[in-house]
Structures are given as structure tokens and as C-alpha cells.
Amino acid sequence: MSEEGRVPSPAALPAEATAAPEEKKGKELERDKLPPIVSAGASASAGLDRGSKGQVSTFSSCVSAVSQKKESAENRSSPAHLVFPNIKNVRDLPPTCLDVRQKQRISMDALSSEMKAPVLPEPVLPVQPKTMKDFQEDVEKVKSSGDWKAVHDFYLTTFDSFPELNAAFKKDASASFNTIEDSGINTKFVNAVYDTLLNTPQDIQKTVLKGIINSLLREWKGPRTKDDLRAYFILLQNPQFNNTSTYVIYAHLLRQIATLVEADHHFLVHWFKKLSQKRFKQLVERLLQFISLRLFPAKPEEFPPIAKCSWWIPSASKVLALLNTANDLVHPPLIPYIDFYNSTLDHIDLMEEYHTWQSFGNSHRFSFCQYPFVISIAAKKIIIQRDSEQQMISIARQSLVDKVSRRQRPDMNMLFLNMKVRRTHLVSDSLDELTRKRADLKKKLKVTFVGEAGLDMGGLTKEWFLLLIRQIFHPDYGMFTYHKDSYCHWFSSFKCDNYSEFRLVGILMGLAVYNSITLDIRFPPCCYKKLLSPPIVPSDQNTPVGICSVTTDDLCQIMPELAHGLSELLSYEGNVEEDFYSTFQVFQEEFGIIKSYNLKPGGDKIPVTNQNRKEYVQLYIDFLLNKSIYKQFAAFYYGFHSVCASNALMLLRPEEVEILVCGSPELDMHALQRSTQYDGYAKTDLTIRYFWDVVLGFPLDLQKKLLHFTTGSDRVPVGGMADLNFKISKNETSTNWLPIAHTCFNQLCLPPYKSKKDLKQKLIIGISNSEGFGLE
């Protein structure tokens, strides 16, 4: 096969490799040495590494130089010297990822003007070869003539260089398009060209890959122009990179994008967010597949040895981080955050990744914990559980050593957090016990109800959680207000002398995460955002905690009517001051007394106007969700973190904390059927077949009621339905009886109903009227 008809071999070396031995050796050592990943505060000259000390081949040693000049109508030719730039000639590289341990994260929108990329003069672009209409007409002609020459020439010309890419796809070759809001790219044309590419003959596809190799091999000096960024943006969308045979080229494209300066990333992020959902998701899935196949290749011989391409995964992770940032900038997001999860990572040594991150941060070695958005909630739960187990074991071991050193007899009870409470004084006893045993909070929890025989094998612990949560969140208790419009609880703003019971609720949530208990709590999402503000308790006790930026969207999740009213105020077209007659002052009822609070100094004398209404709304929301409940939430925050004080929390999104505490709302009743255990029944018994026919046919609200009836919560643990250990037991009673449930053991007791109709009727009555029946 001729050179023009095949992809350059990865093993081939460029002609420049024939340099003098000593000079060649020195240059290669300098060029191939991989600098480490840097933290945000470290030198910006660090590169991408996964911790390997071995040499890493450059692009020139992975793909052969394309030495022959390409023939075209314009007599274009490839550069005479196609050598990957020596590392010393490449400008300083940016941090590959902000350390998630930093208290503040730099917003892509908040870059100062000094950080923005300098606007360089754009080179004169070649004449645009074809319009989209011309291209589509050429493709149509192929169907009748079978002659691909015109299409081949288009691809040959377009992908020959970065200027040619811009000439083909830029909306207006004479315009600079130096703004973040408009990439200046004809997206429809790009999509049409790529959609057609995969259906073209192999020689055309190879021509495109050769052109990309040419472009990436050219030596770049100084900052990139916006045309260069446009070229990267276009090339990244190439569907050919789904094929593992193109991964060497794809890896070098990712590396060049990953090592752009932060200001260039700023532009790319905003361009990414303008992509369609379909194209955006394709980019994410392609990168996740690239990482998965590099970790676990189906054919290892397809790729260079891992020691020589240790930068592949860090580069891909960095580009994924740009896409994740773009996704977070869009409301609603282009794709759900769970679409960034890479389930392949569930099968690697996660604790090694975690300890690497703990030890090195971003300064020396790569860890997936630097990019927590790719780690699934199931994997994060494993990290948190193992981290907590290690802390539990460490504390229990220390207690044992202390006993032995004092020549005292060891007691197995010292290895547990033992709670002894009376049912009649549940809240006060629990508070006293947890306060007295503060040093034992990270030990395994065991609960005993005074005056009752029984060994806690998990059922008593769950019952304690259920009873305590139900009592604390009861409206008569006054700690939390239930909002019927949003079906959630929020902190009462009533002032009191002691906020210890709010601390108790925080401890309960922390213990639930530590002991893998799913709680039936309904807090709005912003509660979990506040709980991670900051994710690590500050050493300075005067530092505010639980304070986060809040918007009308956050308020809408709690008080939708009030949020709607404030939105109406913002969009009101009349005279706000005259028509609303409001000031920067709010009123709240506390124990029957109306109290007023100024939103700013002298707020009672400052009218709300068309000019300052945005400030008024923001201060009002901040008062309701932050300032008016600060002491209550601070106690709650410190309670939670007294149990869950772990760096692993920094890996979590607020939504993921909610799932760890309350479980997932996504039900899969088929999975529940597969994992259900039976006592007195077999899964082939007629009653059981009737049961599943009825349950699988239930609407979602009845399925949730069934789950709540049998487990105490209508949500699913992080591990899925299998983690419920759901059991159906035969209840040898009259078939006139309703089903009963032991929520502490996730057990449903089902009489042997003789017909599906009778079972369905009794089951619906039971699960729809169980509230207030008490716990079994």
C-alpha cells in the first residue's frame, strides 16, 4: 500500500531522529521529561503526569512524520520539519486542575481583565473553499456518479492546517470573533462535515487524520490566537476519535488543549456550553470511553506502554473538567451531572487514589480525586465508608491501648458508640448520650432501649433513627417548619437560648452517613449546599460557616410563592417605589409577636425602587436562607461535621450528600424483585406472583408508598435496591387482614391472599393509610 493510502505507523520515527547521537540524546531527554501536575499555587510550568518516572514519548515518536508534500490545486505543502516542539520552547503550562481542597473555586466568569488572553492579530485566512451548500451538493453528486474526488479534495484542503479549518468553518473569515459568547464557527456546517465523514471511503478518512497530524505537529510559539482555539474546538468534535486506532492522535490533541493557558480555557468553556445537548454528550462520552479503554484496554497491544503515555488520562481528565465547568454554567445543565460518572473507576483501587490525593494534592501525582465529578456516587460512598472505618478502627484501637496501658480489663463495648435511651425521653436522652460520648462518635453505633431485652443487629439502630427523626421534625416540636407547597422542611428562625438540638440533628445525619442508614428527611437542595460551605470545618472558630450564595431558584425550592412574588417584582414594568411602597425591611412573626429586621443599615428608611430592587431581592433571600437562621444552621453544621470530618466530603456535590443521607428518588422495582428474599414463601408461589404483578403495575406514587410502608423511606440507598435487603414473609393469619411491615428490618408480612384482586385491594389500603399507625 502506498504512503498516501494508510495511516502513519505509530512506531515510525521522524527523519529528524537521525541527529548526532550526543545531541539527539540531550534533546530527547530534555523534550521527553514529564513535569508533574501542579497545584493552583504552584509554578505554572508543570505538565501532565500520572506519577511515572519513566520517559514518555513525544508525538514525533508515536506517529511518523508526513514527509511527502500534499498535492492540491493551491500547491499547498506540509511544513518541511514536522517535529513536536521541544518542551523548553513551549510556554508555561497552567495548573491542570484546581485542588478541590481550596475553599474557593475560581469562576470562569470572574476572570479579571488582566487574566484574559491578549487579543493577537489573526492571520490572513485562505479563501473559503466551499460553502455548506456546495459541500452538500458534492455529496449528493457522489450518489449518482460514485466519484468522490470533489469531496476528497474538500477534506484534504480543510483539515490540512488550522488556518484552513478556520477558512472552511468560520462564519466570516474577515471577522475576528474574539468574544466568549460567539465562537464564530458555523456549527451546522461542522456537524454536516463530520456526519458525512464516517460514511466516506477509508482513504478520505485517512486523509483527514493525516491533516490533523500535520496540524498538531507544527511548532507553536507564544500564546494561541482565537483561530487556533477554534481549530481545537472543531477537531475535538471529530467522531473518528471514537475508534481506538486514532487514540494516539486524540491523546495529543487532548494534551495540547489541556496545556492551554487558563484564559484560553475560559473561551473554550463558554463555547462548549453553546453546543447542542447531543454534541455535548458525545464529547463527554468519547472522553470517558478514552479513559476507560486506557485503564482497561481490550487489546493492550493497540496502545503504547502505560509508562510512555502516563499523560493520556490526566490530559483527558483536564478536558473533561472544562466540559464539566461548561455544563455547570448552563441552567438547566446540558446533561445531568451523573453523565460525567465513569463507572470503570468503580473497579480500580479507589483508596489508593484517595491516599495519593491526600498525600500529594495536585502537586506531584495524578489522582482521579482531583476530578471528583468523574467518580460515581457509589464509588464515593465506598471511599467515605472505608475512610470512616479506618477512623473507627483507629479510635477503637486507641481506646483498647489506653485500657491495657492502665492495666484495666478490655471491654468489647469500648469498640462501639453505645446509646442507652428511654423511649419516653428519646430526644433528651439521645442528646445527653451523644454529648457525653462525643469522643466516640466515629465508632460503630449500637442502640439499647432501656428496659427492653434485645441485641442490636441493625434493627434497633434503624428504629432509633426513625423514631428520633419523626419526633424532632414534628411541627409541634418547633425546630423545623414544614412547607406544604415544596414538601420540605426548613429551619425555624425563632430565637432561643440553646441550639444544641439542632446540633443533634446534624450529628444524626452524620451518623446515618457513617452507619449507612437512609433517613426519611426532606431538606431542600440548598441545605446541602450550605452544609458544604465550607466542606472542611475552619480552624478559626470566628469564620462563618453554612453561608453560601443563594438565588431565587434556591428560595423557590422552599417557598415557591414568595420566590414567584420576588420574581414578579424584578420584572415589574411600573413604578416600584410608588406601587409597592416597600423599604429594605422585613417582618417575621415569632411566638405571636411581629418583629422587623433591616436588610441593611437604615433599611427602614430606604425605599425599594426600580434601580435598587435587585439588591433588595438578593438581601431578602440572603436574610431568609442565611442570616435569619445562622445560629440554628451553624449548630447543625458543626454537629454533622463532628461525625463526618473527612477530606472525602470534598469529593461530593451537594446533590450527592443528599443522596447519601436520604437515598436516591429513582426507583427500579424490577431490581427490587430480583433481590427480594422470602421467608415462608417461594418466589414461584401464586401469592408472590400476584404481588409482583400488582406492584410492577402500580403508578410511581403507589410504588413509593409501598417502599415507605416497608422501609420507612420512599428512597433507595446508594447501592441500589439490593442494599435494602427487602424480605417478604408469610403471615399465617386470615386473608381478611391487611399486610403489616417491620420497617426496622425492611420486612413485609403478607397473608396468603387467594386472588390478585384481593391482594391489590388490601395492599393499597395498607400502604395508603399507614401514617400514624406506629412502628412495628
Residue spans of the domains in the chain: they are 132-372, 384-525, 552-649, 663-769
Alpha helices in 59-169 (DSSP H): 59-62, 132-145, 149-158, 162-169
Other beta carbons within 10 Å of 160 = 24
**pLDDT at residue 55, rounded to an integer:** 36
Written as one string, the DSSP assignment of 229-298 is HHHHHHHTT-GGGGSGGGHHHHHHHHHHHHTS-HHHHHHHHHHHTTS-HHHHHHHHHHHHHHHHHHHS-S
Q: How far apart are CA 481 and CA 493, in angstroms?
A: 9
Looking at domain 384-525, its CATH superfamily turns out to be Hect, E3 ligase catalytic domains (3.90.1750.10)
Q: How far apart are CA 47 and CA 312, in angstroms?
A: 12
Distance, C-alpha 534 to centroid of its chain: 17
Would residue 744 show up in a list of annotated catalytic residues for this protein? yes
Reading the block at residue 308, the C-alpha cell is 510512555
Which H or E run includes 729?
A: strand 727-730
Q: How far apart are CA 86 and CA 220, in angstroms?
A: 10
Residue located via cell numbers 459541500: 135
Q: What angle do CA 482, 483, 486 make, to 5 degrees?
A: 130
3-class secondary structure, 116: coil
Query: With the CA atoms of 336, 289, 93 and 83 taken in that order, what torsion angle do they form, in degrees rounded to the nearest 10?
Result: -150
Query: What letters, b where the CB count within 10 A reaches 16 and e where it falls short, cover 32-51?
Result: bebebbbbbebeeebbbbbe
Q: How far apart are CA 236 and CA 280, in angstroms?
A: 11
pLDDT block averages, 10 residues each, the chain of length 776? 38 36 40 34 37 38 38 36 34 40 40 45 63 89 88 92 90 78 91 93 94 82 82 96 94 94 93 95 97 91 87 96 96 94 92 88 81 93 82 76 78 79 91 88 86 71 87 87 91 84 91 84 93 90 91 94 94 92 88 86 93 95 95 94 85 92 89 94 93 95 92 84 89 89 88 93 88 40
Closest CA to 554 of 531, 523, 526: 526
**pLDDT at residue 696, rounded to an integer:** 95
Other beta carbons within 10 Å of 455 = 8
**pLDDT at residue 645, rounded to an integer:** 80
Q: Yes or no: say if 357 and 369 are a contact pair by the CB < 8 Å rule.
A: yes
Closest CA to 208 of 219, 194, 218: 194
Q: Decide which of 3.30.420.130, 3.30.2410.10, 3.40.250.10, 3.20.20.140 is the CATH code for 663-769.
A: 3.30.2410.10
Q: How far apart are CA 746 and CA 727, in angstroms?
A: 6
Q: Compute φ and ψ for 429, nearest 5 degrees.
A: -65, -40
Q: Which residues contact 121 (CB under 8 A, 6 or more apart)?
A: 225
Closest CA to 92 of 28, 38, 49, 162: 38
Of these residues, 488, 526, 744, 749, which one is catalytic?
744
Q: How far apart are CA 574 and CA 628, in angstroms?
A: 31
Q: Compute φ and ψ for 596, nearest 5 degrees.
A: -110, 150
Pairing of strands 480-483, 677-679: unpaired
Residue located via cell numbers 433513627: 465
Q: How far apart are CA 327 and CA 321, in angstroms?
A: 10
Closest CA to 294 of 311, 307, 313: 313
Q: Which residues contact 98 (CB under 8 A, 6 or more apart)?
A: 40, 105, 106, 362
**C-alpha neighbours within 13 Å on the C-beta side of residue 251:** 28
**C-alpha neighbours within 13 Å on the C-beta side of residue 396:** 18
Other beta carbons within 10 Å of 246 = 19
In the chain, what's the furthest Cα-to-Cα distance? Answer: 96
Other beta carbons within 10 Å of 164 = 22
Cα-trace Rg, the chain: 32
In the CATH hierarchy, which fold is given to the domain comprising 552-649? Hect, E3 ligase catalytic domain (3.30.2160)
What does pTM read for this prediction? 0.78
Through-space distance between the first and last CA atoms of the chain, rounded to whole angstroms? 78
Written as one string, the DSSP assignment of 395-415 is HHHHHHHHHHHTTPPP-GGGG
Other beta carbons within 10 Å of 679 = 10
Measured between alpha carbons, how far is residue 156 from residues 74, 164, 215, 656 in Å? 12, 10, 12, 47
H helix count then E strand count, the chain: 28, 10
Measured between alpha carbons, how far is residue 325 from residues 271, 316, 371, 521 in Å? 11, 14, 11, 30
3-class secondary structure, 480: strand
Which H or E run includes 385?
A: helix 377-405
Q: How far apart are CA 314 and CA 75, in angstroms?
A: 39
Q: Is the dihedral of CA 157, 158, 160, 161 positive or negative?
A: positive
Q: Which residues pair with 488 in a beta bridge?
A: 483
Pairing of strands 727-730, 416-421: unpaired
